[in-house]
Structure 1
């Protein structure tokens, strides 16, 4: 086996985490060009790490060798959410998610005027959906509780991108400390719901044979505050921006297969999250390169989705590719991971996304307002244009926003 291209550097001084987090897309692009390889090594979070930017290597990492490359038990996700089916290694169980996609959509959830910051509007929509579905908290019925939970979820989420340093002194608290306090408050609200609610998902969860007294509350915390609202907001923002003033609107409305191609292309070009990280449990190989035990491995979804060996014109928005050359290549998307440990909320997010997009296409026309905006993306912690775009929506037949 060959040595991984690149250099992992020396501990601490050779760490490239700041360079990566500053601009992960540029970081990977420069390394790929320098080493002539879509798999290379560097030092991330002070650990020698294999960076996977190849579609084939991603499949090897997440599918063929999922029993070799394991979740990191010390990562921030585990610190912030505890022991859940997302953070635990081993066989994943999805029982608690069966049937969760039977949420009836309310038209009020899609009331959009203009011009609006679409990312904010869609994040509100995602929050309404998950809190209504999983916790029986509805913005129109319990507005104060809804706003409190939404604010706490935002504070808690920021713990995932904060240094895991729990410091609190007069007049100042670290971001991780604020996130930990938000988590404690959310857990208290969730526990009260579990004790008092007999209906809906939260009521059903109590009857499941879950291990441990805190298992149900930890999973509810995961469902309401983790990734679904952010993923939905990111993908819907990219969808509205990509189709703004685009003649594919009419075709995607009348052709369900074409709409599916549009949504796959949105996921391919603008995945909500930059990727995922694993740790090598033993000496192994990846894409023909030797990976020593203890090495990290991170797949970069943005780069995987633009691997030119799989996707011709990798930087172009081409929905037609999914009914032609790439018709059988959906498995090369890692928007929500891949393999046995893919995202537990993948089907639910896909359901929400399609419902929202179909509703928008049936009822609205829209355009960027103002027409000229800076749409350069930021990729962490959630991908979206760095300057949140504003869009005007006009309801069909009304002439009104």
Structure 2
């Protein structure tokens, strides 16, 4: 076993969290070049942490048998027992299929002409309507006050979770984390009421599952309706529209090759993953990518750098949808923007269907372009990837539409 390149430094003083959070992509690029390795050591959140930036190492971390325990930094219940996690996943997986997938298409059709220049905000609203409608049976047009209340609470919950974990309350002021805890409590009250009294759809079926304890269903629903999913959908749809601005070739290719849109969406996800990555903790001495990992070390995979690994992707920084029918055909499983392996995102199928339907709708009904043509499209990567300056896009409704081929 070889020694990990890099250094964890000394406790507190050697911590690089601020440098990483300021510019995670630049942080990783600089160290990959310095250490000539896509796996390196640094101190993050005051813990020695292995940064995983290659496809091979990320696949080993996420799909292998290494004893690196998942840790999710939100206040929901997460099972570390592999058997418990598998049983729970099987129970929940059945809910993310069938009628759940079918009804997701209705939300896109309802939007009709609501697309406007502020695409990220529109896509985020669409994602919010999707998750609250599917998971809680709360429709924006039927219960506008309840919908807006839950939306605001989800936003407060999300913003507090990504702030410093300092629970402080004084007259006329509360810390972001404290506000998030209050929002969580209010959301849990709404969720528990739904689980007890609503027998329809997803929430009704979830309440009937044989889950490990009485709080499990409400904890998972809290995660499902969080701002995480709408922001991820908004991120990917924004990147899709930007990638295709002025690109008429995609529309022609989609009609000629029915699976071309699938390749486009794979390339969007590869180049602009909505989440920077995920973290694991070694619960015993282990190995990763030929290196010894001590118990208690962290390991974080960085989706951006994994997806641009030159050993797997030629011309890794270029938008080339055709790569997925050529050299990288059949390699979709190396993408990790929604995780990978047995602990990957349980709603990935729903996300794929929703993205495809939304993108098909846009391609069928609109052409679009940046307005003004010259805009700063530099991305920020935390907490969710999107252009730092929200882009403005003009949508022009097509006078005649060709038959939609969704096969």
TM exceeds 0.5?
Answer: yes
> Is residue 398 of structure 2 the alignment partner of residue 396 of structure 1?
yes
1:132·1:138 contact (CA, 8 Å) conserved in 2? yes
Q: Could you tell me which residue of structure 2 aligns to residue 294 of structure 1?
A: 296
Match for 1:76 among 67, 73, 76?
73
By how many angstroms is 1:69 displaced?
Answer: 1.0
2:121·2:234 contact (CA, 8 Å) conserved in 1? yes
Cα distance in 1, alignment partners of residues 386 and 161 from structure 2: 17
By how many angstroms is 1:383 displaced?
Answer: 0.2
Q: Could you tell me which residue of structure 2 aligns to residue 344 of structure 1?
A: 346
**What is the TM-score of this pair, normalised by structure 2?**
0.93
Q: Could you tell me which residue of structure 2 aligns to residue 94 of structure 1?
A: 90
Cα distance in 2, alignment partners of residues 113 and 290 from structure 1: 51
Cα distance in 1, alignment partners of residues 73 and 290 from structure 2: 30
Q: Could you tell me which residue of structure 2 aligns to residue 196 of structure 1?
A: 197
State the SS of the aligned residue for 1:285: strand
Q: Which runs of 5+ in 2 are unaligned?
A: 402-407
By how many angstroms is 1:248 displaced?
Answer: 2.8
Cα distance in 2, alignment partners of residues 327 and 286 from structure 1: 27
By how many angstroms is 1:347 displaced?
Answer: 0.9
**What is the TM-score of this pair, normalised by structure 1?**
0.94
1:101·1:348 contact (CA, 8 Å) conserved in 2? yes
Match for 2:357 among 352, 355, 358?
355
> Is residue 214 of structure 2 the alignment partner of residue 213 of structure 1?
yes
After superposition, the Cα gap between the structure-2 partners of 1:147 and 1:332, relative to the gap in structure 1 and judged at 3 Å, is: same
1:243·1:249 contact (CA, 8 Å) conserved in 2? yes
Q: Could you tell me which residue of structure 2 aligns to residue 229 of structure 1?
A: 230
After superposition, the Cα gap between the structure-2 partners of 1:226 and 1:343, relative to the gap in structure 1 and judged at 3 Å, is: farther
By how many angstroms is 1:110 displaced?
Answer: 4.5
Q: Could you tell me which residue of structure 2 aligns to residue 327 of structure 1?
A: 329
1:252·1:262 contact (CA, 8 Å) conserved in 2? no
**Count of residues in Structure 1 that have an aligned counterpart in Structure 2:** 391
> Is residue 27 of structure 2 the alignment partner of residue 30 of structure 1?
no
By how many angstroms is 1:256 displaced?
Answer: 2.3
1:83·1:218 contact (CA, 8 Å) conserved in 2? yes
Cα distance in 2, alignment partners of residues 248 and 162 from structure 1: 42
Q: How does 1:233-244 map to 2 (within 5 A)?
A: 233-244=234-245
1:84·1:215 contact (CA, 8 Å) conserved in 2? no
Q: Could you tell me which residue of structure 1 aligns to residue 404 of structure 2?
A: none
**CA distances 1:115-166 after superposition (whole Å, capped 9, x unpaired):** x211110000000011111100001111111111111111111133111111
> Is residue 367 of structure 2 the alignment partner of residue 365 of structure 1?
yes
Cα distance in 2, alignment partners of residues 371 and 148 from structure 1: 37
After superposition, the Cα gap between the structure-2 partners of 1:29 and 1:230, relative to the gap in structure 1 and judged at 3 Å, is: same
After superposition, the Cα gap between the structure-2 partners of 1:194 and 1:111, relative to the gap in structure 1 and judged at 3 Å, is: farther
Moved more, 276-285 or 123-132: 276-285
Q: Could you tell me which residue of structure 1 aligns to residue 17 of structure 2?
A: 17
Cα distance in 1, alignment partners of residues 313 and 78 from structure 2: 35
State the SS of the aligned residue for 1:218: helix
By how many angstroms is 1:313 displaced?
Answer: 0.3
Cα distance in 2, alignment partners of residues 241 and 88 from structure 1: 41
Q: Could you tell me which residue of structure 2 aligns to residue 61 of structure 1?
A: 61
RMSD of aligned residue pairs (Cα, Å): 1.7
Q: Could you tell me which residue of structure 2 aligns to residue 380 of structure 1?
A: 382
Q: How does 1:237-256 map to 2 (within 5 A)?
A: 237-254=238-255, 255-256=257-258
2:63·2:342 contact (CA, 8 Å) conserved in 1? yes
**CA distances 1:242-291 after superposition (whole Å, capped 9, x unpaired):** 00101333234313221111000000000000000001122222111121
Q: Could you tell me which residue of structure 2 aligns to residue 174 of structure 1?
A: 175
Q: Could you tell me which residue of structure 2 aligns to residue 162 of structure 1?
A: 163
State the SS of the aligned residue for 1:125: helix
Moved more, 193-202 or 7-16: 193-202
> Is residue 281 of structure 2 the alignment partner of residue 279 of structure 1?
yes
Moved more, 203-212 or 369-378: 203-212
Cα distance in 2, alignment partners of residues 250 and 366 from structure 1: 12
